[in-house]
Structure 1
Amino acid sequence: MIRTHGLTKRFGRVAAVSDLDLDVREGDVYGFLGPNGSGKTTTVRMLLGLVLPTSGTAEVLGRPMPGSAAEVLPQVGAMVEGPAAYGQLSGRRNLALYDAAGRGSRQGRAGRVDDALARVGLSGVDKRPVHAYSLGMRQRLGLAQALLTSPRLLVLDEPTNGLDPQGIRDIRALLLDLNAAGTTVLVSSHLLAEIEQTCGRVGVISRGRLVVQDDLDALRGPTGRQLLRTAGAAHGERAAAVLGRAVEDRDGERLVVRGDDPAAMVAALVAAGVPVVEVTPERRTLEGVVLDATGAGSDDFSVTDQGRVGAA
């Protein structure tokens, strides 16, 4: 659905995007992660033909961009750098004008607008002027615009910006429903928690370069350590003595143990009279993957509404 090769954009001496090789496959919910200023929005704008690359190539829906924009863009729904709207007009009127500017026929326009408003939860305020909308409502209106054409590909830049936790959950559910119905989704975001709960494939950009691109399950693979819980702190101390230098950390009854053979570990503990309540493989978190790949420090990240970490 989206493929780039060596995609590069320079502004004078500054390389906003360098040698980018994106691979978004049909059926993906693809999370495009990176801190502000990392090149996410510049990349999205190049994919949509809004900015010309300095070098490299981009294909969207199997066609070169921006050369095939007239053919490609009617099949793409997009929201980039926040929604645009006429503030004095209602949300409904804005959507009708947006639909009229596209290839949608006049016949069926009201139904398309109704459906888009309902999908993003704006049916009850559709006649209110947009200048009276909150930031979260404007985000919902921008997403409604992107959905008017029933796109094959949906490209969204920070779609949950300004939404409360319930709104974030609603948009997450909507994107997953659209994907289940056949829409490929590219979500550009700095919120690790949202990407982790929504996306199946992830690309991480740092200082204009793609530093990670893989399936989320592969990125969150086992670390080679086991998380072990015994039946109390005293047993945890005994387990640490039995396992010796393989124990990397212990907090009362809970231990982090280096090794990829949990059966042998449990057998050794049971033989020593240590009751084991639970043992599970430790898996990497997306947060850890991103921090390792980007070299970002705590100053580059902030806590989201849901208590998880996201790039600021």
Structure 2
Amino acid sequence: MTAESATTQPAAARPAIRVEGLGKRFKDLVALDGVDFAVPPGTVFGLLGPNGAGKTTTIRILTTIVRPSAGRAEVLGTDVVARPAAVRRLIGLAGQYAAVDPNLTARENLRLIGRLTQLPRHRRDPRAADLLARFDLAAAADRPVRTYSGGMRRRLDVAAALVPEPPVLFLDEPTTGLDPQSRTALWELIRELVAEGTTVLLTTQYLEEADRLAQRVAVLAEGRVVADDTPHNLKARLGTTVLELGMGEDPRAARAAALLTDRLRQRPERDGALLRLPSPDGSLLLMDVLHALEAERLTPRTIAVRESSLDDVYLALTGHRTDDRAPDPGTTLEGPPS
């Protein structure tokens, strides 16, 4: 599909973001390898995966910071390579690290962003005041940002991305490092933005975050999309709960894993002396597991039943846990365009 045909499509029929065969190579390292997904307008789309999966590289391409090595990407029908300046007028970006000046006040930061994004002079002060109130920063609006807490800085960073009222907002791991209260507050702000029509592409390592916010998510592994579905369906692939058995010693865990594989026709994941089994019904699985183990005098030392997590989903899809991966090369190997 050509850029001309994309821009003539009815807005209702066109995704807010379209990615087709996207690839990015940093010298000998392949960061993205044929990524495809589409984001409907007025929704939250989550990119899931651990560090090194390609999430930040994807964001940097979509926001015109780096150029792809292959494939194409569009924002509201506008090609990110052919028309980068036009794309920048359509988007807001809050990256992993705060882009605001710590020596300026919050109000001064938002005014500056308004000037840089060519917001009309008469709208800069009202827009800054509106965002400061909305993000619960009005009381601290005239304090230097260096005096802010981590949660306050993160809210200000998202507010800065919204100064020009972009129809598409990119949030790269926006809640990493935040306390639970700050994270919940930011989730609520994201919901409000989407209710008003903003399209949000969110990268995160937390399935809980995507589950609460995103209508659809894509799971990235080593630069490829290994799943693209709703959060509910992703968790349902391996069961809504996970049974964890602490066997105390590696040899006992090995014997228990072999026994359960034979008796239940389900191979547990083994992490040293810890066994994990996904299940759609944790209580029934627990009874079957305990009966099988007690018969061989392999009673677990500890037992836990919990909801599925991103690690569980990612492990089932890729064979790796989220903490096995290296940092995303998109954050370190190539800087902003000159």
TM-score past 0.5 threshold: yes
> What is the match of residue 104 of structure 2?
89
What SS does the corresponding residue of 1:38 show, helix, strand or coil? Answer: coil
Contact 2:314-2:321 at 8 Å conserved across structures:
no
Rounded Cα–Cα distance in structure 2 between residues aligned with 1:223 and 1:45: 32
What SS does the corresponding residue of 2:107 show, helix, strand or coil? Answer: helix
What SS does the corresponding residue of 1:296 show, helix, strand or coil? Answer: coil
Rounded Cα–Cα distance in structure 1 between residues aligned with 2:104 and 2:34: 42
Aligned residues: 259
What SS does the corresponding residue of 1:154 show, helix, strand or coil? Answer: strand
Q: Which amino acid aligns with 2:317?
A: A
Q: Select between 119-128 and 292-301 the one with higher mean Cα deviation.
A: 292-301
Show the 5 A alignment for 1:269-284: none
> What is the match of residue 18 of structure 1?
33
> What is the match of residue 193 of structure 1?
208
Show the 5 A alignment for 1:29-48: 29-48=44-63
Cα offset, 1:297, TM superposition: 3.0
What SS does the corresponding residue of 2:103 show, helix, strand or coil? Answer: coil
Show the 5 A alignment for 1:94-243: 94-221=109-236
Q: Which amino acid aligns with 1:73?
A: R
Poorly superposed stretches of 4+, deviation over 6 Å: 222-226, 245-250
- Aligned equivalent of 1:291, options 286, 290, 315: 315
1:254–1:43 Cα change, 3 Å: closer
> What is the match of residue 57 of structure 1?
72
> What is the match of residue 236 of structure 1?
none
Q: Which amino acid aligns with 1:191?
A: Y
Cα offset, 1:161, TM superposition: 2.3
Rounded Cα–Cα distance in structure 1 between residues aligned with 2:207 and 2:311: 7
Q: Which amino acid aligns with 1:293?
A: L
Cα offset, 1:298, TM superposition: 7.1
Rounded Cα–Cα distance in structure 2 between residues aligned with 1:40 and 1:84: 19
Rounded Cα–Cα distance in structure 2 between residues aligned with 1:163 and 1:202: 22
Contact 1:78-1:154 at 8 Å conserved across structures:
yes
Cα offset, 1:284, TM superposition: 6.8
What SS does the corresponding residue of 1:255 show, helix, strand or coil? Answer: helix
Q: Which amino acid aligns with 1:78?
A: L
1:297–1:289 Cα change, 3 Å: closer
Contact 1:7-1:17 at 8 Å conserved across structures:
yes
What SS does the corresponding residue of 1:195 show, helix, strand or coil? Answer: helix
Instruction: Pick the structure with more strand per residue.
Output: 1
The CA deviation string for residues 160-215 of structure 1, in whole angstroms up to 9 with x for no partner, is: 12321111111101111111111111111112221111111001111111111112
What SS does the corresponding residue of 1:26 show, helix, strand or coil? Answer: coil
Q: Which amino acid aligns with 1:295?
A: G
Cα offset, 1:27, TM superposition: 2.2
1:71–1:256 Cα change, 3 Å: same
Rounded Cα–Cα distance in structure 1 between residues aligned with 2:323 and 2:55: 19
Structure 2: state its 5+ residue gaps.
Answer: 1-15, 242-262, 267-276, 287-306, 326-338
Cα offset, 1:51, TM superposition: 0.2
> What is the match of residue 285 of structure 2?
256
What SS does the corresponding residue of 2:121 show, helix, strand or coil? Answer: coil
Q: Select between 181-190 and 133-142 the one with higher mean Cα deviation.
A: 133-142
Q: Which amino acid aligns with 2:285?
A: V
1:120–1:220 Cα change, 3 Å: same
Cα offset, 1:9, TM superposition: 0.8
TM, length-normalised to structure 2: 0.69
Rounded Cα–Cα distance in structure 2 between residues aligned with 1:178 and 1:78: 14
Rounded Cα–Cα distance in structure 2 between residues aligned with 1:137 and 1:246: 50
- Aligned equivalent of 2:85, options 70, 73, 76: 70
Rounded Cα–Cα distance in structure 2 between residues aligned with 1:284 and 1:91: 39
Rounded Cα–Cα distance in structure 2 between residues aligned with 1:165 and 1:131: 22
